[in-house]
Structure 1
C-alpha cells in the first residue's frame, strides 16, 4: 500500500514509483488484448466475410463483459469490506455467491443472446453469408464468453484478498495458450482442414478451460468459500450490492451500447468496412495499454491522497499521468500512422479492408492521446468520489461526441471520413473531460495534510 502522506524527494521520484506499478499492469493488459488482435488476424485469413461475421459479435461480447465487470466490481467491494471488518465467514459466503450467482446470471444472459441471435445480428446489419457464419460461430463463442466470466469471477476473489499475481500470470498463460491453439483449430494440421471460424471460439474456450482448472485448484487450497446460509446472505447483501453494481454496470454497458450503434452504422458501408472496423477496434484496445494500466494503478494513489486531503499531491499525480499519456499516445500514434499500410497488410489480405484500415489507423491512432485523457479523468473521478460526474463524462464522450461524429462520416460514405469523425469525437471528448476536471479540481480546498 502507498502512504500518500509521505514526502517524496521530487516529482521525478513520484513519477518513477507510479510507473513502476503501472507497467506490470500495462503488460498484463497487453497480453490479454494482444491475443485478441492476433485472433482476428488469423480469422482475416479465412476471408472478409469471416472477419466481418466475427466483428459483428464484438459489441455483444462487450455487452456480456460489461455485465460481468459490473457484478465483479460490486462483489469485490463487499468482500473487501467484510474482510476489513473482520467478518471472515461473511466474506466466504460472498465468495461463493459471486461464483454461483455470477455463473447463473451470465449463463442466462448467454442463453438469451443465443435465442435472439438472428434478430439481434440482423439489427446490427449482418446479412447473407455473414449471418450463416455467425450461426456456426456464435454458440461456441457464447460458451467461451461464459467461461471467461467464470474465470473473471475467480480473479475477483483473488483480487479481493489482495492477491493480484495469480490473475496476472493466468492472463498471460491463457493468452499464450490461445495463440497456440488458434492456427491449429482454425486452419487444421496435415490432412485435417480445421474448423474455420468456429475454431477461433473453440481455441478461446479451451484456453479459458485450462485457466478455470488452475483457478479452481488454487481456490481449493484456500479457505475463501462457504456454502452455509447462502440464501440468507443473498437477501442481506442485495441492497448494498445493488447500490454498487447499478452505477458500475451502467458505466460498463455504455461502451458496449456505443459499439453496437457504431457497428450498425458502419454496416451500411458493406462487409469490408465492418471487417476493417473490427480490426481497428482490436488495435485500439492494444494501443491504449498504458492508459488502461494507469486506470488500474492510479486510483489507489488518488484515493489515499483524497483521504489525507492532500490536494497538491493529487494535482501532481494527475499532471504526471496526463503528460505521460499525451506524449506516449502521440508518439505511438504517429509511428503507427506512418506504418499504417504495412500494419493493415499484416492483418488482412483483402485490398479493400487494407485500404479502409489504413485510413482508420492514420486518423484514429494519434487521437488516442485525447481519448486517453478522457479515460484518465473518468477513472480519477471515481477514485475522488465523483461517480455521477464520471458517468456523465462517459455518456458525453460516447453519445454526444463519438457516435454523432462517426454518423457524419458514414453519411459521407467513406471509411476515411469515419476515421476522421472518430478522431474528432475523441478530441472533443478529451478536451471536454480535461476542462471538467480542471473545474472540479479548482473547487477543492487549497490545503494539504502534511506530516
Structure 2
C-alpha cells in the first residue's frame, strides 16, 4: 500500500485504473450485446427494457453508491494506518449491503407494474417489462455482494483481482444471453425473462468469484463476524458518503423518466432513441468511470495520509485521462451515428432521429470530463455533499428545465441540445466546487 504515496502518479493511476477500464469496457459491451439480443425480439421488447432501465438503474445506483462509501472509508483508514477500523468498515458494509439487497428485491418487484403504467398503456410492453423485472430483481442480494466485494478489493489496490471477477460475470452473461433468450441447445426459449436470468446469473458468478479469491488469496482487509453488528459512528461515516454517492448515481434514473415523459409527447420513436443512447453511452462513461475507480482509493489513501499536493496531482492526471476517453466517444458519435443506432433497429425513421440525437448530444462529451473527474475526486475525499451538488446540476437542476423549455421551442431536438448545454454549465461549477472543497 505504501506505493500509493510514492509511485509516479500517472503510472499508479494506469496501474489502478486500467484493469477497471478493461472491466468497464467489457461491461459496456455486455450492456450493448444484451440490448441487441432483446432488440432482435421486437422494438416493443427494447422499449420495455428502456422503460425498466430507470428503476433498475436506481437500485443499482444505491448499491454502488453505498459501495463507494465503503471504498472511501476503508481507503481513508488504511492511509491513516488504522487497520481495525478498516476491517469494521468492510464488515459492517457487507452486512448492510445484504439488507439493502433484500429490501430492493421486494420494492423492485412490487413497484414496477405501477411505474410502467406511467409511461405506456400498451399491454405487450407492460407484460414484457414486468416479466423482465420479476426475474432481474430477484438477484438483488447477489448484486449487492458483488459491489461490496468490488469496492473493498479496490480500496486495498487489488484492481486486477476485481477485473477478473467482473470479467467472469460479464462473460457468463454475454454467453447466456442468446442461449436463454432464444432457447439454444437444451435451454428453453425464455425471451426477455432469459435476458434477466442471464444478468442475474452473471452477477452471482461475479460475487462467487470474489468469495473464492478472498479465501484463496486473502486481502489485507478482513470481514469479521464480530465486526458486522452496525455501530452508529461507522454507519454514519459510511452513509455520509454512500447516500450522496447513491443519490448522484440515481439521479440519471429520474432524468431518464422525466425525458421519457417529454419525448413521449412527440413520439415513442424518441423514447426508443433515448433508451439506445443510454446503452451506447455506457461504452464511454463506464470506461471513464474505470479511471475514476482507480483514482478514488488513491485520493482517499493520500488524503488520509496527509499528502494534499499529491491528491491534486492525482486529480489533474485523472481528468486528462477521462477527457481522452470522452474525445474518442465524440469522434465515434460524429462519424458513425447512423451505424450505431442501426445496431438496434432497421427502421429508417428511427435511425435518422437517432443520428441527429447522437451528434447533438456528443457536443458535450469532452467537457463532461470535468464533472466526472471532480465528482469522483470529491467522493475519494469523503465529501459526498459537494459531489451530490454536481450530480444534481447534471441530472436535474439544469437539464430537465432546459429540455422542457427547448422542446417547446424547437421540438424533440431541444431535449438533445439540453445535454451539451448542461455539461458546459456543470463543468464550470464543478471545477469551482472541487477547488473550494479540497482546500477545506
TM range (shorter): 0.7 to 0.9
**How much does 1:424 deviate?**
2.1
Name 1:431's counterpart in structure 2: 428
Equivalent residue for 2:290, pick from 290, 293, 318:
293
> Is 1:360 paired with 2:357?
yes
> Which stretch has the larger CA shift, 150-159 or 30-39?
150-159
Name 2:373's counterpart in structure 1: 376
What does the per-residue CA deviation read over 1:248-276, in whole Å, with 9 as the maximum and x for residues that have no partner?
A: 33333333333332333333334322222
What does the per-residue CA deviation read over 1:337-388, in whole Å, with 9 as the maximum and x for residues that have no partner?
A: 2111112112323334322222222111242111122111222334456543
Equivalent residue for 1:348, pick from 321, 332, 345:
345
CA distance in 2, matches of 1:28, 1:254: 23
CA distance in 1, matches of 2:15, 2:234: 37
> Is 1:417 paired with 2:414?
yes
**How much does 1:286 deviate?**
1.0
> Equivalent residue of 1:103, what SS?
helix
Name 1:49's counterpart in structure 2: 44
Q: Is the 8 A contact 1:52 1:130 kept in 2?
A: yes
Equivalent residue for 1:169, pick from 157, 164, 167:
164
CA distance in 2, matches of 1:401, 1:71: 26
> Which stretch has the larger CA shift, 187-196 or 64-73?
187-196
Equivalent residues in 2 for 1:32-47, closer than 5 Å: 32-47=27-42
Equivalent residue for 2:225, pick from 202, 224, 227:
227
State the structure with more CA Rg. Answer: 1
Equivalent residues in 2 for 1:100-179, closer than 5 Å: 100-125=95-120, 127-179=122-174
Equivalent residue for 1:204, pick from 195, 199, 204:
199
Name 1:183's counterpart in structure 2: 178
Equivalent residue for 1:278, pick from 260, 272, 275:
275
Equivalent residues in 2 for 1:241-252, closer than 5 Å: 241-252=238-249
Equivalent residue for 1:64, pick from 59, 70, 74:
59
> Equivalent residue of 2:276, what SS?
helix
What does the per-residue CA deviation read over 1:385-439, in whole Å, with 9 as the maximum and x for residues that have no partner?
A: 654332222212222222222223543575433222222222222233345556x
Name 1:389's counterpart in structure 2: 386
> Which stretch has the larger CA shift, 345-354 or 378-387?
378-387
What does the per-residue CA deviation read over 1:301-358, in whole Å, with 9 as the maximum and x for residues that have no partner?
A: 54566665654x6665544444444454234312332111112112323334322222
Q: Is the 8 A contact 1:125 1:267 kept in 2?
A: no
Q: Is the 8 A contact 1:5 1:310 kept in 2?
A: no
> Equivalent residue of 1:116, what SS?
helix
Name 1:332's counterpart in structure 2: 329
> Which stretch has the larger CA shift, 29-38 or 190-199?
190-199
Give the TM-score normalised by the residue count of structure 2: 0.85
Name 1:448's counterpart in structure 2: none
Name 1:253's counterpart in structure 2: 250
CA distance in 1, matches of 2:13, 2:70: 27
Number of residue pairs matched? 434
CA gap 1:110/1:267 in 2 versus in 1, 3 angstroms:
farther
What does the per-residue CA deviation read over 1:35-75, in whole Å, with 9 as the maximum and x for residues that have no partner?
A: 01111111111111100100111111111112212332334
CA gap 1:102/1:332 in 2 versus in 1, 3 angstroms:
closer
CA distance in 2, matches of 1:143, 1:118: 15
CA distance in 1, matches of 2:84, 2:382: 25
> Equivalent residue of 1:87, what SS?
helix
Question: Where in structure 2 are there 5+ consecutive unaligned residues?
Answer: none
CA distance in 1, matches of 2:239, 2:126: 37
Q: Is the 8 A contact 1:269 1:413 kept in 2?
A: no
Give the TM-score normalised by the residue count of structure 1: 0.83
**How much does 1:281 deviate?**
0.4
Question: Where in structure 1 are there 5+ consecutive unaligned residues?
Answer: 9-13, 446-451
CA gap 1:211/1:326 in 2 versus in 1, 3 angstroms:
closer
CA gap 1:333/1:49 in 2 versus in 1, 3 angstroms:
same
> Which stretch has the larger CA shift, 377-386 or 145-154?
377-386
CA gap 1:325/1:355 in 2 versus in 1, 3 angstroms:
same
**How much does 1:178 deviate?**
1.1
What does the per-residue CA deviation read over 1:102-136, in whole Å, with 9 as the maximum and x for residues that have no partner?
A: 22222222212212222222234564321121122
Name 2:400's counterpart in structure 1: 403
CA gap 1:386/1:104 in 2 versus in 1, 3 angstroms:
closer
CA gap 1:259/1:399 in 2 versus in 1, 3 angstroms:
same
CA gap 1:359/1:193 in 2 versus in 1, 3 angstroms:
farther
Q: Is the 8 A contact 1:4 1:304 kept in 2?
A: yes
> Which stretch has the larger CA shift, 365-374 or 115-124?
115-124
> Equivalent residue of 2:189, what SS?
coil
> Equivalent residue of 2:22, what SS?
helix
Name 1:449's counterpart in structure 2: none
